[in-house]
Structure 1
Amino acid sequence: MRGHGYDGAINMRGSWNGLQALFLKDCSCVYYVYCFAHRLQLALTAAAEKEVSIWLFFSKLNSICNLINGYPKRHGELHSAQRIEVAHMIATAERDTKNMVNDGASNSIRGEASGALIEMKSFDFIFILHLMHKIMGITNLLCRALQEKSLDILSAMDCVSTTKTSLRTLREEGFDLLLSHVKEVCVKYDIEIPHMEAHYKSGTDRSCQHNDSITVEHHYRFDVFTAAIDFQIEELNNRFKDDAVELLKLSCVLESKENFKLLNVDHIYRLAEKFYYLDFDSQYLHHLIMQLDHYRLDVAGHESFQNL
């Protein structure tokens, strides 16, 4: 069995002039396997970029993270504010107003913090934050499975399937629960909640446009919630459906652990027929299926092999 794997740069995987193409000129049965963990990363990124409000959310989130992570001193100021707030809440059961907006070390920090706070205290930001927390919570198991040093490809592919099923369940049943939780958070932090039955208005200031055909709830349910999940499922389908996936799944039948528990003669035949056709002509394939049938009947039950 032959194979080669490398990153996804075009000069590596390019089907015309990339390294993959050069290998294939020598042997058409050398198969390129693209890092599955990176496929998932690309799927998550692509899905996040397809819906404008999701893209804007991550853009704002990036600015907020840069604000906090820019200098160690800002970390100290944030931690100090958090300690004071916790102590105050314990003493009075109320929230403290001390924060970087009022107590930042400079005007620029206070200005950036004020802008970040405005973004964070919007219903749109809170809704998408919790939506992406849900989606990434579902994909996290797959993410960790694909980064295992010793990857069980069958388990990983099963995890792809269960991830898509969980996303579909969230799509069909999760909106009302998510919306309810988002409203609770908004009430807790005094964030204005839009009227769900009102006509949805996009844009700001003079560019505001009323869309009389949809409500605010329709926008969040279908244009954000459903669209984000659909894009994610679409990307998972596109990234994990190629020949490399089938090749690795079929190859698992040759795994010797647990007394060849995964042995499947039909899969071995398929592996030879589809992926290694240069080594198995029609006559050889006919012999192979006969040999595999004998193997399945003879070796599994032969007394000489029972203690292997």
Structure 2
Amino acid sequence: MAQSKHIDKVLDRHRDETITNNRLRLKTSINTIRWLAFQVCAFRGDDESPGSLNRGNFIELIKLLASCNQNVNNVVLENASENAQYISPVVQNPFAYYIHCLAHRLQLALVSAAKEVCYVHQFFSKFTLIVNVVTISPKRHDQLRVAQANNVANLIANDQIVTGSGLNQIGTLQRARDTRWGSHLNSVRNLLCMFDATCEVLEKSTEEDNFSTRGDASAAYDAITSFEFVFVLHLMRNILEVSHDLCQALQRKNQDILNALTLVSTTKTLIQRMRESSWEAFIKEVILFCEKHEVEVPDMNALHIPRRGRTRKIVDQISVEHHYRVNLFLAVIDTQLQELNGRFNDNMVELLTLSSTLDPRDNYKFFSVNKVCELVERFYPCHFSDQEKFHIRMQAQHYELDVPNHVELTNLCTISELCQGLTKTGKSLTYPLIDHLIRLTQKQNGR
């Protein structure tokens, strides 16, 4: 054998081995990030150096996987070259962002869209300040719980709330965390329930705490007792409640696409209905809340004075009622509608609807040969040749009669399980066009 050919074989073998090792290393990192993200665990620790006894969840979980699999152990952490370990924050962060489910992205997008209205952005800044001041020390936290317990006891004594098992729990305030599902809605609800107790703790802090903390407490108290804050607090609660069921449906592991799409439609309708006909009831609720909790209510017919006391030109002068209804209420709702319409436009809804035909749940009850062909023609024409487009109809007919009757392919719940099942049983080779389409839709929909 010529020396050059021998060297080429060695290089090819080395190149294939490098690619295989990289793939295993990358897969290990992705699976680790996936697990940590869905368990809402922190990725990094205080000390990430090799000599640390606890280098953080991400690296420690990779070490655990390596201890269970020698092939993994051979290619990760110190056994990989320094620039190919896939453990740096630069690598962790993009992966973590990618694998967050559509539901999580939607809820955060709705909150972010609302923040585009400057008054809502300022609301969340004040909200964070209030929670931080009240929960920053065990002393204030205990004061909050005592104050809330007293408020609940007084309400029960006055027959203003009902009693029963699981009702009237004291609870506490919590921050809205971007990594925890539904945390924005829970945070807003908690503050509404503990409004009086929170005000009481903040007022005490302005009088009793040291000079360095009294300033924050005073600013937080001024914020929470303002009409604008109470107004936005109620508005965000109402909007997040409308979108909550949709977000919950989208985040379920066993997603029912068609029912989730129905919730997209109903969510849009409810938000539109809120825009068109709920102002009167909403502003009445806010005013009643303010009167109950001794928050000053502005004269709605008075002239609205912009911040910093500057008056606008005569042509721009508006009433206080107009400001809250148009600049806040309608503006925030419109951003929600725009966000929903942008993320669930007609093409996306059609793609998800047609993709549901591949759902294996309930013994493939959604499968339709015509929808399979339509899905290929409408969304994946470049991925199939003209001959394959013609042949996939017949392949789909065989698939429809065969796969639901295969014992190892029944009782599947997700597209991912279906992909694994088709590969395990060899059906991916029998129906390569259907298998290719399933994997395309899985990649497109991020499941």
Q: Does the pair score TM above 0.5?
A: yes
Instruction: Give the drift of 1:242.
Output: 8.4
Aligned partner of residue 214 in structure 1, secondary structure: coil
Aligned equivalent of 2:283: 179
**In the comparison of the two structures, how many residue pairs are matched?**
274
Q: Tell me the distance in 1 between the aligned counterparts of 2:305 and 2:321.
A: 12
1:241 corresponds to 2:330: no
The letter of the residue matching 1:44 is L
Give the conservation status (yes or no) of the 8 Å contact 1:101–1:110: no
The answer to whether the 8 Å contact 1:102/1:110 transfers is no
The equivalent residue for 2:121 is: 55
Once residues 245 and 90 of structure 1 are traced to their aligned partners in structure 2, the CA distance between those partners, rounded to angstroms, is 48
Q: Does 1:213 align with 2:317?
A: yes
Match of 2:385 in 1: 281
Other-structure match for 1:305: none
Please name the residue that 1:101 is paired with: 203
One-letter code aligned to 2:245: L
Q: CA deviation at 1:208?
A: 5.1
- Aligned counterpart, 1:69: 135
Q: What pairs up with 1:155-174 in 2 under 5 angstroms?
A: 155-174=259-278
SS across alignment from 2:381? coil
Q: 1:263 to 1:33 in 2, by over 3 A?
A: farther
> C-alpha displacement at 1:151, in angstroms?
1.6
Q: List aligned pairs for 1:74-153, cutoff 5 A.
A: 74-85=140-151, 99-102=201-204, 106-108=209-211, 109-153=213-257
What do the CA deviations read for 1:121-165 (whole angstroms, capped 9, x no partner)? 111111111111100010111121122122222222221221111
Q: CA separation in 1, counterparts of 2:357 and 2:259?
A: 13
State the alpha-carbon separation in 1 of the partners of residues 301 and 374 from structure 2.
56
Q: Which moved more, 1:142-151 or 1:248-257?
A: 248-257
Identity value in percent: 39
Q: Do the aligned partners of residues 193 and 100 (structure 1) sit closer, same or farther apart at CA in structure 2, a change above 3 Å counting?
A: closer
2:334 to 218, 230, 254: 230
Q: 1:278 to 1:90 in 2, by over 3 A?
A: closer
| 8 A contact 2:114–2:120 mirrored in 1 | yes
Distance 1:274 1:238 in 2: 20
- Name the SS for the 2:325 alignment partner: helix
The alpha-carbon deviation at position 98 of structure 1 amounts to 5.8
Q: Which moved more, 1:268-277 or 1:215-224?
A: 268-277
Q: Distance in 1 between matches of 2:257 and 2:298?
A: 46
Q: Distance in 1 between matches of 2:152 and 2:388?
A: 75
Q: 1:70 to 1:209 in 2, by over 3 A?
A: farther
* Shift, 1:57, TM fit: 0.7
Aligned to 1:22: none
1:99 deviates by: 3.8
1:173-228 alpha-carbon deviations (Å, 9 max, x no partner): 111100000110111122221121222111134x4547653211111111111110
- 1:37/1:115 Cα in 2 relative to 1: closer, same or farther (>3 Å)? same
TM-score w.r.t. the length of structure 1 is 0.74
| Aligned-partner residue type, residue 73 of structure 1 | K
| Local SS of the residue matching 1:190 | coil
**Mapped partners of 2:101, 2:151: distance in 1:** 45
Q: Is the 8 A contact 1:77 1:100 kept in 2?
A: no
Amino acid at match of 1:140: H
Asked if the contact 1:142–1:160 (Cα under 8 Å) also holds between the matched residues in 2, the reply is: yes
Q: Following TM superposition, by how much is the alpha carbon of 1:116 offset from its aligned partner in structure 2, in angstroms?
A: 1.5
Counterpart amino acid of residue 134 in structure 2: I
- Aligned-pair CA distance for 1:248: 4.0
Return the letter of the residue paired with 1:146.
L
- In the superposition, relative to structure 1, how do residues 99 and 255 fare at CA in structure 2: closer, same or farther (>3 Å)? closer
Give the Cα–Cα distance (whole angstroms) in 1 for the partners of residues 247 and 392 of structure 2: 38
Per-residue Cα deviation, 1:243-293 (whole angstroms, up to 9, x for no partner): 66654432211234445432333321122224443553334434545776x
Hey, what's the Cα distance between the residues in 2 that align with 1:223 and 1:159?
28
Residues 1:255 and 2:359 aligned together = yes
2:227 and 2:140 map into 1 onto residues whose CA distance is: 26
Contact 1:197 1:217 in 2 (8 A): yes
Does the C-alpha gap of structure 1 residues 98 and 132 become closer, same or farther in structure 2, counting only changes over 3 Å?
Answer: closer
Q: Per-residue displacement from partner, 1:69-124 (whole Å, max 9, x unpaired)?
A: 2222220122223334555677899x999644236652344443332221111111
Greater per-residue strand proportion: 1
Pair 1:269-2:269 in alignment: no
Query: Greater share of helix residues, 1 or 2?
Result: 2
Match of 2:292 among 188, 194, 219: 188
**SS at 1:200's partner residue?**
coil
The aligned amino acid for 2:371 is H
Q: Which amino acid aligns with 2:264?
A: V
